Every structure is written in structure tokens, then in C-alpha cells.
Amino acid sequence: MPYLPLRVLVLEDHLFQRSVAVSLLRQLGCHEVLEASNGAEALAILAATGPVDVALCDLQMEGMDGVEFIQRAGGSGQLGAIIIGSGLPCDVRRAVGQMGQSLGLRMLGEVGKPLQAEALGPLLTACLNPLPVELSPLASTGVASEASVRRGLLDQQLEGWYQPKFDLRTGEALGAEVLVRWNHPIKGVLSPAVFLPTVERCGLLDELLFTLMHQALTLQWQARSQGVSLNVAFNLHASQLSNPQLTSQVKQILAQYQTPGCSVTFELTESGLLEVPAVCLENLVRLRMMGCQLSIDDFGAGFSSLQRLCQLPFNEIKLDAEFVRGLAHEPRCSAVISSTLALGHTLGMAVVVEGIETAEQQQALVELGCTQGQGYWHARPMPGADLLRWLQRNDGALGQMGGSQ
């Protein structure tokens, strides 16, 4: 019998189905299996016996249902992860999964009824795998102070990390998104969750952007000397568009490195574009007039109108990774991707799909007609020196390196 060092709590009000779930989890090798008939009973078990690694949670139950249980337990620290086991439609299960994520819970996925070992086993195994380091907010570190962030900027400790974008058909690297990490001299490499809230609160976004531009354009020049032409993409917060000096400062930096605007992209998240004052629109127009590319990031994750997409001078759409994650089991995700590709084609905009993590997702996207993508299947974010070595080592055959970084 396999062995999984997991403590699992089953929430299911139907006695027979609960017995089936408990038996199946034991067959799969789970170390300890607890059971509850509703959310209130589950909370009492957690209070009495301590946290569990996984909760296998039904949604419709008498008394406290699964939705309320997830809300109540979300901030307790008693749940390592949740698997939704329900006979409700998959779109309802998926919505509950998103709710759990917004509460800070690790949602491993959802399974229908009757439970199947083939579906449940891989989710339990995934629970044993730690989250990637770059996605962990290093909560023990807390949010950095203004003084420490200013010192980090002054000492050039905030560094660009680079995640390539690819032609999904040929594997060619088309460019790289510039992310940011704090290379702290004592605490090591810190996630943006540690310092970006402070950067935003203290009005340091422009200073950070210009620091990253100097680093990335130096790297771009080095890549060009290796015979690689690489577009670099910077994340731009919507609030920065209210700075009337933004475009003139960008223009000065581009001139300093003799870099044409067409080799630079600025990515703005959809959620920040609900209202765009005149000065912001002017900055967008001026960036395009300089030849810079404009990308609307996390498309589909917010609620901005399609009218805004038509009004603003973007020429690239980056489709939110959530649609790729649901591609294998949610037909609506496939429909959204296909529709976005058609929309991009009609508007003359490139479409980049984010969050590609498996060969199956890559193949499915190619079959849907996707041509550009980004994700861990191709490459994880890496420091600039590593990117240069990686480009040189792979020498154009980049698509064959899926998942190697």
C-alpha cells in the first residue's frame, strides 16, 4: 500500500458517501483520516485535535455547508489545503475554488462524485509538493519598512528577474517580462509581496521602474551583442500614468541606451483601467508614438469593459493564467481563449497566453490557434546573468527546454 504522510478531514453529510471517501483515502495511503458531517462539526474537530493537511469538502450539507466552512476556516491557519468534492456543476465548484484562493487557502482542485482514486490521488500527491519559492510571499519576513526599501533601491538591491515569452509554434524566445526581486544582503532573495506594497504606498513606483529599465536595457544590449534581439516588457501601474513627466523620462532612458521604442513593452493590468483621465490617456498615446508596445495584462481577471479595450491604444492582450489552469476540465475556459484570440485578431492585437505549466496545456493552446505564451513549462523567472547564459546555451531551440528551469 502507498503511504502519504497526510492528515485528511472529510466533510460529507451523506453517511454512505462519507464512508466511501474515508475508505478511499485510506486505500490511497493517507496517514490519518478524520470525518465530519457538516462544517460546524469539522470546526469542532479542528479546535479539538489541531490542523489538518487537507480537507476534502462537500459543498451542500445540512447545517453549516461547505461554503460557510471554507469562509470560517480560511483565516484560522488550521487547513493546509482544500479539495472540493461535490456533485454540483463544475463552474460552481470552480467559483468556490476562487473564493478559497481569495481567502488565502491553497485550493488543490475539485473532484466530482462518485469519488475516483484516479482523480483524487494526484491532488493528494500535489499537496506534498511545496509551492514555488517565487510565489511564496515569505510571510515570516513581513512587509518591509519605507526606510529599508529606500536603502534597497539606493544600494541597487532591487533587481530585475526575467521570464521569457515564446512563439508556441517554433519555441523561439520573443522577449522577456521584467519582474522584480529584492536581493537582500541578509535575508536572501525576497518576493515582491514583501516590498511592493511599501513601494506603492510611498510613491516609489517610478523610481523602481527607471531602475529596472536601466538594468534591463543594459541586459538587452548584452543580448544583442550575442546576436539575440530581445523585447523587454515592464509592468506599469495605472497610477503612474498620471505623472506628466513619465514619457519624457522614458524617452531619455531609451535615448541613453540608443534603444528604439519598439524593443520595449509596457504592461498594465486590466483592473487599473476602469477610469482613465485625460493625462493618463495622453501618456499612453505618447508611449505608442515613441514606438513602444502596450500590453493589457491579466486580461479577463477584472471587469473593465470591452469599450475600454477599443478606446485605449493597446496592441497586445495578455490572457490571465486562470483560463489555462481550467483548460483541461472547464469548457468555458477553452471558449474564452478562443474568443480572445478572435477578438485580438479582429482588433489587430497580439494575444499572449500566461500560465502555461504542462505539455498538455501547450499542445491544447497550439490546437486552439495560440501563437504566443509564457509560463513555467518554458522557463521560470531568472536573474539577468542567468538569462544571458540560458539564451546562449539554448541558441534558438528554446521550445525544447520545457520545464527545465
| 12: amino acid identity, one letter | E
Question: Maximum Cα–Cα distance for the chain, whole Å?
Answer: 72
Q: Which three cell numbers stand for residue 12?
A: 460529507
User: CA distances (Å), 267 to each of 4, 285, 297, in order?
Assistant: 42, 14, 6
Find the angle CA(49)-CA(52)-CA(56) to the nearest 5 degrees.
Answer: 120
Bridge pairing between strands 79-85 and 158-167: unpaired
**Which residues, 6+ apart, have CB-to-CB distance to 18 below 8 Å?**
10, 12, 35, 37
Peptide linkage before 331 cis (omega within 30 of 0): no
Report how far Cα 314 is from the mean position of its chain's Cα atoms.
Answer: 21
User: CA distances (Å), 120 to each of 161, 217, 351, in order?
Assistant: 36, 47, 34
With H, G, I as helix, E, B as strand and everything else as coil, classify residue 403: coil
With H, G, I as helix, E, B as strand and everything else as coil, classify residue 235: strand
Determine the Cα–Cα distance for residues 242 and 283; give it in Å rounded to an integer.
8
Annotate 106-148 with three-state secondary structure. Answer: CEEEEECCCCCHHHHHHHHHHHCCCCCHHHCCCHHHCCCCHHH
Torsion of the alpha carbons at 289, 291, 297 and 303, rounded to the nearest 10: 20
User: CA distances (Å), 193 to each of 176, 180, 182, 198, 213, in order?
Assistant: 21, 10, 10, 9, 21
Look up 134 and say whether it is catalytic.
Answer: no
Alpha-helical runs (H) found in 13-65: 15-27, 39-49
Residue of 68, 110, 354, 357 marked active site: 354
Find the angle CA(9)-CA(11)-CA(90) to the nearest 5 degrees.
Answer: 115
**Which residues, 6+ apart, have CB-to-CB distance to 302 below 8 Å?**
269, 270, 271, 273, 274
Residues taking part in catalysis: 354
